[in-house]
Amino acid sequence: MSFVEHLGEMRSRILWSLFWWAACSVAAWFLTPYIIAAVRRLIGDTQLVFLRPTEAFMVYVKIALLAGLFLSLPIILYQIAAFVMPGLEANEKKWVKRVIPAAFLLFIAGGAFAYFVMLPTALGFFLGFQQQFQDTHVTSMLSVEELMGFVMLLIVVCGLMFQIPIVVTLLALVGVVGSPLLRKGRRWAILLIFIIAGVATPTPDAFTQCIVAIPMLLLYEISILIVRAMGK
């Protein structure tokens, strides 16, 4: 294919990806009440409110777009793979076929970790401060936009953090790292992971930081095993 033909194919695959994202977002619009109800269970009796006339509508749009992106992600990843695969060697194609499904599954695992572990801990920490206002007759209420933005951000961040094995595998494929280098740099990796966990976690306590850091450390060790297997 000529350069212009490659550009044409790229344009076609981008348009198909956008089409499926839009279609899945429309479908996700009807799932939005259930998503909000699932998040609502994380805050107990705390009241949810919206503070602007457009806030409820914009929350629906943001949730539908994010959920639509998640639902259409397998198709988008397929479009990316289909565009790249013709230019790869047979061995490289084999690894791409393994990496793309693994990346999707790891993102799901990261999102599940955020919802079931990280969010209850973080929200429990912040909402626990309402007890300090019991004598001042202050009622705790949360903006639905702020809450959903907070939840979506943590889910995306955790999903991306769980891509560590994928990133390391790709670096190993192009010869940037190897298992001896990863083992040798384990101490620096532990330090970097705890720094990232401290920045990514919304609470300042060390307990929450460790909750985030421990899965990342396990993923780093898994990455070493994957790279070692690749070397063999």
For the segment 150-184, what is each residue's pLDDT rounded down to a tens digit? Answer: 888 888 888 888 888 888 888 887 778 888 888 88
pLDDT band, very low/low/confident/very high, at 226 (cuts 50, 70, 90): confident
At 12, give phi and psi (nearest 5°): -65, -45
* DSSP helix, strand, coil percent of the chain (3-state; round to 5): 85, 5, 15
Is the Cα torsion angle 191, 194, 200, 204 positive or negative in sign? negative
Q: What single letter denotes the amino acid at residue 159?
A: G
pLDDT at 27 over 80: yes
Higher pLDDT, 124 or 12: 12
Give me the pLDDT at residue 16, please: 94
Rounded to two decimals, the pTM is 0.80
pLDDT in tens, 46-88: 788 888 888 889 999 999 999 999 899 889 988 888 888 887 7
| Helix, strand counts (H, E) of the chain | 10, 2
Which tens digits make up the pLDDT trace of 100-143? 888 889 889 988 988 998 888 878 877 777 666 666 666 677 88
Selected residue with higher pLDDT from 150 and 21: 21
